[in-house]
Amino acid sequence: MSEAAATETPLQTAPLPALVVPPRLAAMWKRGAEFLGCPVAILAGAMTWVSERNLVAAISNAGGFGVIACGAMTPALLDAELKATRKLTAKPFGVNLITMHPQLMELVDVCQTNNASHVVFAGGVPPGEAIKRAKAFAKVVCFAPAVVMAKRLIKNGADALVIEGSEAGGHIGPVSTSVLAQEILPVIRDVPIFVAGGIGRGEAIISFLDMGAAGVQMGTRFVCASESIAHPKFKQAFIRAAAREAMPTVQLDKRFPVIPVRALNNKGTEAFMETQRRVLEKFLRGEVEQLAAQLEIEHFWAGALRRAVVDGDVENGSLMAGQSVGMVEREEPVTAIIAELVAQAGAALAARSA
């Protein structure tokens, strides 16, 4: 059973519509596609409560690369989620693990037991031992917020990197996608790099492939997929929202670093600020250590996100969304989303030739 307590859908038996990737596009993202083991070099962003078995399998079945969001799952829950996803797709998919999870090593072992092909470490710099253990059975993907960190992660064994700009949803860094791409893509050539943050159309994909990216990571565009188990009210909030409504939270005190979170503003955002203030006061009084305090905030976000995604409480829950939310216009199947992105990219390339 997944964190989202999703109902399992039957394995797709009817043939999916043939996805035609233009040869020129296939050549541009060949490195990323071969690394992921799929025809479309779109790595799905792992979204807690949303990126579970149904959406992950649908993305992989449609030619992209689905990624399970482990979030705060226990090893037993992740084991069940991996097995359930395997029943829905025979295609490759990955597992996203949060580095500050107290049972990180056990989660890596679960991935190995289930023959996971790709492990994505997120939420911080993964311990060297975690990378080493994961590399024994899978390809390892890490997030790099700067050139120095990218080089360090590659030295530690990362097989690929994701560079995610501040336009992304959920936890974000301080630098925009376009600037990160300019800083990192020309310098780092050792491993495939996937660009993320604010990407909502095929033309943008082409621009980053031109700069040297192997592919892209996208999350927000898939929230309103028909296969997504997100509550109808959650999806409607995305469909109605404009890019400017997805705003980052602020850090109250530099002595207590809290990673900003981009989400649609509502009462849940206000509740987070109050929670951050309360936890900060406990930390400054010496009642709780920094890691424990950060975990308390993470647990708040997980609970608030569940209220919105699963229960449909879009007033008090967390509506984590990237700025590309303004390009989410309707609910549609994953196959249609990926086909549209590929068509847009292909049209952009054709326009150049013309």
- Residue-wise pLDDT for 254-300, tens only, equals 777 778 899 999 999 889 889 888 998 999 899 998 888 888 888 88
Look up residue 163 and give its two tokens.
């560079």
Burial of 250 (0-12, 13-18, 19+ CB in 10 A): exposed
**Local confidence band at 189 (pLDDT 50, 70, 90 cut-offs):** very high
Look up residue 122 and give its two tokens.
């997120």
Domains of the chain: 23-228+329-353 (3.20.20.70), 232-323 (no CATH)
Whole-angstrom Cα distance, residue 116 to residue 123?
Answer: 20
Measure Cα distances from 48 to 165, 230, 236 in Å.
Answer: 19, 11, 18
- Residue-wise pLDDT for 49-89, tens only, equals 999 999 999 999 999 999 999 998 999 999 999 999 999 99
> What is the model's pTM?
0.92
